Amino acid sequence: MGTVIAFVPASGGLGSSTLAAAVAVRAAAASRSAVLVDLDPWGGPKDVLLGLEQEPGWRWPELADVAGVVDGLGLADELPMACGVPVLTRPGSGVAPGAAPVGGDALDGWLDTVPDVVAGLADAHEVTVLDLPRDDRVLASVAVLVDAVVVLVGSHVPQLAAAAAVVPEVRRLLGGFREPVARSWDEAPLLPIEPWAVLRGNRVERDLESLVMDQLDVPLVATIGDDRRLLAEVSEGLPPGARGRGAVVRAADELLLRLIAQAVAA
């Protein structure tokens, strides 16, 4: 199985989906097989973010009847592509990935299929990027599969307060679902992981970076300020990171380097 990295926003409007997409694009640019999976039923479809809204290919509704781990390579061949990255997203807005109303049995049914889809794609790709919402049910569904969880943290006081609530919950979920369990001799044990933080703000002082690390007790992997290049890319219909420059690209590259270093150490 390849490496799985998940992105969770501590509050809205921080560009978590944008950074997730940039990580997948940058992984592909580095000749790594990568796939991007939209697991946010309440966010905007990633088709628009990646300029794929007119591209044919499978979305989540085509996987409504999945039973068992999917053929990751076969599925990737059916997905729309952005900069060499297969993207599994959903059509429309205001509906869950299975094209059913959010909540209740529809959401539960979709969450039952998520681990099998993610496991199959991760088995076929070197880097699998998951775009998650602020909903512990979604993180819980993939907790045993992920190798890193990145929490996007805003620099304003309300955003920092939100992060102070989200980060401990992410840590609790990761600890609860990745507790050591009895395994056969040839299976590698689940390794405990801690969430990583990425700080997002127009102007971030060094003192604030230190405060975030101290208060949240997590490693601060990157800081993202204004990125005019990103705005230009999006306005031209290009996926984030397509031109390989800017603050978001630097953060994406730093995350990939850390991910590779972690995999080597393991």
Instruction: Give all domains of the chain, ordered by start, each with its CATH number.
Output: 3-265 (3.40.50.300)
Looking at residue 211, its pLDDT comes to 82
Residues 137-196 pLDDT 10s: 999 999 999 999 999 998 888 999 999 999 999 998 888 776 554 444 445 656 678 899
Looking at residue 1, its pLDDT comes to 64
More confidently predicted of 214 and 263: 214
Is the per-residue pLDDT at 251 higher than 60?
yes
Residues 228-239 pLDDT 10s: 777 777 778 788
Instruction: Give every strand in the sheet of 148-154, ordered side by side.
Output: 81-82, 85-88, 34-38, 127-131, 3-9, 148-154, 196-200, 220-224
Residues 105-128 pLDDT 10s: 678 788 999 999 999 999 999 999
**Helices 247-265 and 16-29, axial angle in degrees (round to 10):** 70
pTM, 2 dp? 0.89
Return the closest-CA partner of residue 128 out of 181, 174, 73: 73
Decide: 221 and 152 in contact? Cβ < 8 Å.
no
Decide: 130 and 6 in contact? Cβ < 8 Å.
yes
Kindly state the tokens that stand for 83.
């900069």
Query: d(Cα 161, Cα 97) in Å, to the nearest integer?
Result: 30
More confidently predicted of 202 and 30: 30
Average predicted confidence (pLDDT) for the chain? 85
Return the closest-CA partner of residue 39 out of 131, 113, 170: 131
